[in-house]
Amino acid sequence: MTDLTALVLVCTLSKSPAESSSDLIGRQVLAELEKHDVAGELVRVVDHDVRFGVSTDEGDGDEWPTIRAKLLAADILVIATPIWLGQPSSVTKMVLERLDAELSETDDEGRLLTYGKVAAVAVVGNEDGAHHTVAECLQALNDTGFTVAANAGTYWVGEAMQSVDYKDHDVSPEATTAANKSVAANTAHLARLLKANPYPPS
């Protein structure tokens, strides 16, 4: 029985149907979440006309409100991002900027609408910087009301200055597969606890 839902936002720079390592690791985390009775959906952000800004709706055809509705309906949010120049992708940063609007959105008891939702991050790249990227994303997600479980980041980083991507592996590296499992188990566990015992009124 699925009592929790998850949304994976894939923040690759590549539109569908192009292959994407971020999309792959996002789907892998989603598959692990499903083993914990979490029903999920994956959205590749660049496939949608999401505008830059810090409001819930930038107007003029902005498609963030549709994605935001999915986010608010979910119990778990996973950000899947590549590393570029040692940083989260520009798409990831745009998503985090859009989440800034949630600081002004509260329920009848003064709690952010993101309270009770659990966040995790999945990172892929061909250079060092995974810990930095996970830290940037989790800090921003926590600032905007999301709760973070233990070991809430999973990643794969290839050898520096080489051309092998995560998606190029026939079998995903064991360490990343194990991290995916931990992220899913801990995130689902915490989300279930928070759903049963919401945060107190602010």
Q: What is the CATH number of the domain that holds 159?
A: 3.40.50.360
Residue 162: its pLDDT value, please?
Answer: 84
Q: Has residue 202 been placed in a domain?
A: no
Tens place of pLDDT per residue across the chain (202 aa): 669 999 999 999 999 999 999 999 999 999 999 999 999 999 999 999 999 999 999 999 999 999 999 999 999 999 999 999 889 999 999 999 999 999 999 999 999 999 999 999 999 998 779 999 999 999 999 999 999 999 999 999 998 888 889 999 999 999 999 999 999 999 999 999 999 999 999 8
Domain that holds residue 162: 4-196
Asked if residue 152 is part of any domain, the answer here is yes
Q: Is residue 160 part of a domain?
A: yes
Strands (DSSP E) along the chain, which ranges?
4-10, 38-44, 76-84, 87-88, 118-125, 147-157
- pLDDT at residue 128, rounded to an integer: 78
DSSP-derived secondary structure letter, 183: H
70 within some domain? yes
pLDDT, residue 163, reads 86
The secondary structure of residue 47, as a DSSP letter, is G
Task: Flag whether 148 is in a domain.
Answer: yes
Residue 141 belongs to a domain: yes
Domain count for the chain, please give it: 1
Measuring CA to CA, which residue among 82, 169, 67 is closest to residue 127?
82
Residue 18, H or E segment: none
Residue 201 covered by a domain: no
Helix ranges (DSSP H) in 74-199: 90-99, 130-143, 174-196
